[in-house]
Structure 1
Amino acid sequence: MDDMEKWPEIEKAASGKRRELVLQGPGVDRRISSEGGLTCAVYSLTLLNYLEVSQCPSLTQIHEDIQHLTNLQSLILCRNKLSSVPDVLGSLKSLKVLDLSVNHLRVLPEGITQLKELNTLNVSCNSLEVLPEGLSQCTKLSTIIISKNHITGFPSDLCSERLDLLSTLVASDNCIDQLSGDIHKLPALKLHTHGSHALGFLLLMPCLLQVLDLSNNKLSEIPSDLSDCPKLKEINFKGNKLSDKRLEKMVNGCQTKSILDYLRGKGRGRQGEDGGDTEGGRSADRGKRQQQRKKKEKAAADERDEVEELNKMVVRVLHVSDAPTALTVKVSAEVKDVRPYLVCCVVRGMNLKPGNALKRFLVAQTKLHDELCGKRTTATIATHDVQLLKTPLTYDVKPPTQLKVVALGRKEMTAVELIRHLQLEADELRKQKKRQNVTGLHKYLQILQGKSLYPCLVDAEGHVISFPPITNSEKTKIKKTTKELFLEVTSGTSLQTCKDVMDALIVKMAELNKFTAEHREEAGSDGEGDGPQESAGVNETSSELIIQQVRTVDQDGNLKVVYPSKTDLCKDVSSVNVIW
């Protein structure tokens, strides 16, 4: 048996001249283990522009023949046990995305610095102590993720003005120990270093800093030059033992504008310390008195700005590479002619327990169905309790007589039986109410008329948990006690329609969660809860939502879509702050 026969995915990619290949999971890992490494046959697929080999603990190295894949634009080698990667990666001149996260790497090859097209580098969750010098040659870098390593400092050229596209640097859980006063020269950078042991120097980066999270470090000082960042919207220095106790108190209150104003004042005061002659000292005094007079005038406006800042809803996106157990949904080819478009994600932090929180959420979902979803004709939303899901999930189609579902509030029946029941209910309701139109689920029945196959989301045990656009399953129904929600949006119109609806749903969830946190309703039962109820104070101190990305792939494991991506959740919603 040759390599192609042992690796049907590679044979299929070769014969079909495919541009994408995904190898992941226990089956692939067993083959890698038995052969002592990844088959060299993969390096003959020179047409590939996307290659992913992930979740394979037996994969400890990559052969130098990878240099033959010169058309690669994305190379994903995450969640393996790579101890090294070859320097010839620098030969992949078209590479834009390199993901080496969750491995055993101690060093990165110098060849990475030759990747002129690289815009995303993810080396999180390794054992790196340094980054290679020369990253400034990768002038198109926009995202660098180096969290959960042992890095003690940044290479000096990382701060080069050549990196004028750098917008995101994630450096949490490292050993970096200084913060330079030149921080104000950072451009459009969103910097996340929460959980680090300390934070190191960052110099001359050409961007307009927007988000700065340095929480839980060992910083004793915050440079006053930070106040010169013109675009800074969010800073977090919680958990640091600052020498300035007044500043530490402000930091723990997350008062961004107040912190910046305070730092700005400290910077001005320092300029006058070595003023020299008397006239210079008197000028400094006059400036100080003028500043004090203006302070009262600004107080009211500052307070309003601060309230607005604190009232912003926060949505934090968790990348699939940072969550080894992230869900993946497989999409069968047959849905193409029935209801082809699907996006999914997992939401944590949604508090459904207090008062009418669950009811408000369900009402909001119904409103989205009626308005943005065009009464389910353009898209349909479904929600599930993650704890009740049996993964992996498959988006598939079934004949009406073979699709069995336990619809919400009903016993198990086939789709044919369910629709017949709903039609009878609709007719009876019309007679009772003397109406021409129907309401509720009944008004969506016509959407499936003439279809020989019906769409459905199926769990690992073969149970249908969603039957769009008609109903979810009772098996995965959300309750007051639900802590994690799996969201799905399907459509027969377009993928962008699914994304727009999901965006709107997440924003609405953020609004509802904030309302719940602020109004402190007593937890109570409305028939949806299970077990003893807790007080309203539990889990209500924060309204932040965590959105876990979910990938959808085709039957061969090729990526179809990941939601949310950097182009999602980016519409101008001033009340929501999305942190990537």
Structure 2
Amino acid sequence: METMWEEVLEAKRANKCELTLTGQSVSNKIETSGLQVSVFELTHLKFLEISNTCLDVLPDNIGQLVNLNQLSLRNNKLHTISSHIEKLSKLKFLDLSVNQLEAIPDVLHKLTALQSLNISLNKVSSLPNLRGLFHLIYLNFANNNCSHFPESILDENFTQLSEIRANNNKISSIPGNIKKLLALKILDLNNNALVSVPGELGDCPKLKDIFLEGNKLSDKRLQKLVEQCRQKQILDYVRSHCPKTVSVDNKNTGQGKGKPGKKGNKKMENSKIDEILDKLKILHAGDSTFSVIVTTAVRDVRPYIIACIVRQVNFQGGEKFKKFIAMQTRLHDTICGKRNLGTIATHDLNRINGNVTYDARPPARIKLVPLGRKSEVTAEELYVQLNNEAETLRKEKKKNVYSGIHKYLYLLKDKSHYPCLVDESSQVISFPPITNSSGTKVTEDTTDIFLEVTGCSLSTCKEIMDALLQNMLQLGLGEPGSQDTSEESTCKQEGGETHDDNGTEKDKSPKKGLQLIVEQVKVVDEEGKLRVVYPSRTDLQLDGITVLRE
């Protein structure tokens, strides 16, 4: 009888919910005798990762793991996926990226609980039928050979689909029915074969980022805007100048034809602006502004980080602080994809010494006092402690459900380096995706907060930060607004001044209401070269909130 692999034996003995098989040692075992069948006997598994191996076939036995909600098969040699995957009815996250797949079985539409689907970096020429995946939030089929945009997702029932990554394909046209994706916020079509863009794209009400670089657009004006990366101007131009390919219901879009319609829209927009009371005020980063330095070590761990500072936060009165903590937990479970897509961390700015470095280090070299604990430990020791606590809880409750930060431990399993943020006094302030340092803990007396989001996608990190700031404003954490002569980002700019439709300079004093003051933070590399600054002019384009820029 074949000896059970150590990783599988441990998961079976401890009745674990997660199993990670990754790296050269696992690859050698697969090459010698194939993927061990005993893996598929662990029917209690909720998370399975097989990555960075020579695995070339996903066997039919995968259908036995009926309790899986996350399956990661990233960076293998897969050229075929068993249709038995359709039996994984609880699956929410499926990652098939960086393989050699030329086709995906036409059964994915049966995985109706799916929220995230990644099939990027394969050889797929067309997507299977996805109609029915109405819980889908994130779809990534970048770096394939697709020549057509997937029609099966152009359905009003895809009410949560907010991000589509389709760059580096051979897509030649965008269907007009894309207007049915009412939740779409990010559409990446860089480096395809597009020559035109349908006007219906402008009817996607939440679309903020459209990436069209590397296409040979016949409209030279649009091509120029794309090259200049002017997101808002691109969308405005699409709405006003790009022809529509299907009939339009004027009642739904609020647009007529020609100039009268545009003028009517402008008045409606101004009316809406006048009704807004709550505002985000952006302070620009200067040469001496607090910054984050990113090392090359994080590239293969958790490569992206964005950050900002929120000034004059008001936690006083009511249950604001408790709601602030609960809000972060909610975002981690939703938009952050259980911390798979991104992790939020908040710090008392006054407890941070100097600039911050975002690094990746061996677990034994990371020392901190974790939130809720009194003693300093290494990240290695903390990982062991948390694993032991999780095992004790599992035995006490007799359930395979972990609570709190214990449920995120699998994200670090078998990793040789862990990400961390360190200030100039060598204080570790953050250990994503697990915990922050007690030394920079935010309390009810905190007034200036340093916010950071780490993840594997820059656009996702920005979307998470946008949502975090919006929720902070809605929780009433800002200060009462006062007169301000800053420009409103939602008004038309001419020569640096704000004007109304008749060219008359408008009263630029915002109405009183809550105002959240957000200060930009630069992220730079080790040589000081700027990588990203947040929030930039293309960030924080939020419905129902006015953004004032210094």
TM superposition score category, shorter chain reference: 0.5 to 0.7
In structure 2, do the counterparts of structure 1 residues 540 and 141 end up closer, same or farther at CA, with 3 Å as the change threshold? closer
> 1:244 maps to what in 2?
219
**How far apart in 1 are the matches of 2:244 and 2:101?**
46
In structure 2, do the counterparts of structure 1 residues 23 and 574 end up closer, same or farther at CA, with 3 Å as the change threshold? farther
Aligned 1:82-161 pairs, distance under 5 A:
82-133=78-129, 135-161=130-156
> 1:305 maps to what in 2?
none
CA shift, 1:249, in A, is 3.2
Contact 2:356 2:421 in 1 (8 A): no
**How far apart in 1 are the matches of 2:87 and 2:2?**
28
Residue type of the partner of 1:513? Answer: K
- 1:222 paired with 2:222, answer no
- 1:472 paired with 2:420, answer no
Contact 2:156 2:180 in 1 (8 A): no
Which of 441, 450, 455 matches 2:377? 455
> 2:74 maps to what in 1?
78
Which of 39, 42, 45 matches 1:45? 42
| Secondary structure of the corresponding residue to residue 107 of structure 1 | coil
Residue type of the partner of 2:173? Answer: Q
> 1:66 maps to what in 2?
62
In structure 2, do the counterparts of structure 1 residues 575 and 30 end up closer, same or farther at CA, with 3 Å as the change threshold? farther
Residue type of the partner of 2:426? Answer: N
> 1:393 maps to what in 2?
363
- 1:25 paired with 2:23, answer yes
**How far apart in 2 are the matches of 1:263 and 1:372?**
41
> 1:232 maps to what in 2?
207
CA shift, 1:46, in A, is 1.1
| Secondary structure of the corresponding residue to residue 72 of structure 1 | coil
In structure 2, do the counterparts of structure 1 residues 495 and 44 end up closer, same or farther at CA, with 3 Å as the change threshold? farther
In structure 2, do the counterparts of structure 1 residues 346 and 129 end up closer, same or farther at CA, with 3 Å as the change threshold? closer
| Secondary structure of the corresponding residue to residue 89 of structure 2 | coil
**How far apart in 1 are the matches of 2:11 and 2:141?**
32
Contact 2:358 2:420 in 1 (8 A): no
**How far apart in 2 are the matches of 1:466 and 1:510?**
22
Aligned 1:492-531 pairs, distance under 5 A:
503-504=451-452, 511-513=520-522
Contact 1:458 1:464 in 2 (8 A): no
In structure 2, do the counterparts of structure 1 residues 48 and 496 end up closer, same or farther at CA, with 3 Å as the change threshold? farther
Residues 552-573 of structure 1 deviation map (CA, whole Å, 9 limit, x = unaligned): xxxxxxxxxxxxxxxxxx9x99
- 1:174 paired with 2:148, answer no
Aligned 1:216-365 pairs, distance under 5 A:
219-266=194-241, 326-327=300-301, 345-347=302-304
Residue identity over aligned pairs, in percent, reads 28
Choose 1 or 2 for highest CA Rg: 1
Residue type of the partner of 2:68? Answer: L
| Secondary structure of the corresponding residue to residue 21 of structure 2 | strand
CA shift, 1:105, in A, is 0.9
Contact 1:380 1:489 in 2 (8 A): no
Residues 516-559 of structure 1 deviation map (CA, whole Å, 9 limit, x = unaligned): 9xxxxxxxxxxxx99xxxxxxx945964699xxxxxxxxxxxxx
Residues 287-346 of structure 1 deviation map (CA, whole Å, 9 limit, x = unaligned): 867579889999999xxxxxx99x9999xxxxxxxx99622xxxxxxxxxxxxxxxxx54
The size of the alignment, in residue pairs, is: 383
- Taking only aligned residues, the RMSD between alpha carbons, in angstroms, comes to 5.7
**How far apart in 2 are the matches of 1:260 and 1:158?**
21
Residue type of the partner of 1:454? Answer: E
Residues 16-71 of structure 1 deviation map (CA, whole Å, 9 limit, x = unaligned): 11111111112212222222x11111111111111111111x21112212221111
> 1:521 maps to what in 2?
none
CA shift, 1:245, in A, is 2.6
**How far apart in 2 are the matches of 1:84 and 1:287?**
50
Contact 1:119 1:140 in 2 (8 A): yes
**How far apart in 1 are the matches of 2:380 and 2:163?**
37
Residue type of the partner of 1:230? Answer: P
In structure 2, do the counterparts of structure 1 residues 11 and 249 end up closer, same or farther at CA, with 3 Å as the change threshold? closer
Residue type of the partner of 1:195? Answer: N
Residues 385-429 of structure 1 deviation map (CA, whole Å, 9 limit, x = unaligned): 64xx6x54347779xxxxxxxxxxxxxxxxxxxxxxxxxxxxxxx
Contact 1:171 1:191 in 2 (8 A): no
**How far apart in 2 are the matches of 1:61 and 1:287?**
54
**How far apart in 1 are the matches of 2:190 and 2:22?**
30
CA shift, 1:142, in A, is 2.2
CA shift, 1:491, in A, is 3.2
| Secondary structure of the corresponding residue to residue 220 of structure 1 | coil
> 2:492 maps to what in 1?
none
Residue type of the partner of 2:19? Answer: L
Contact 1:397 1:454 in 2 (8 A): yes
**How far apart in 2 are the matches of 1:296 and 1:142?**
31
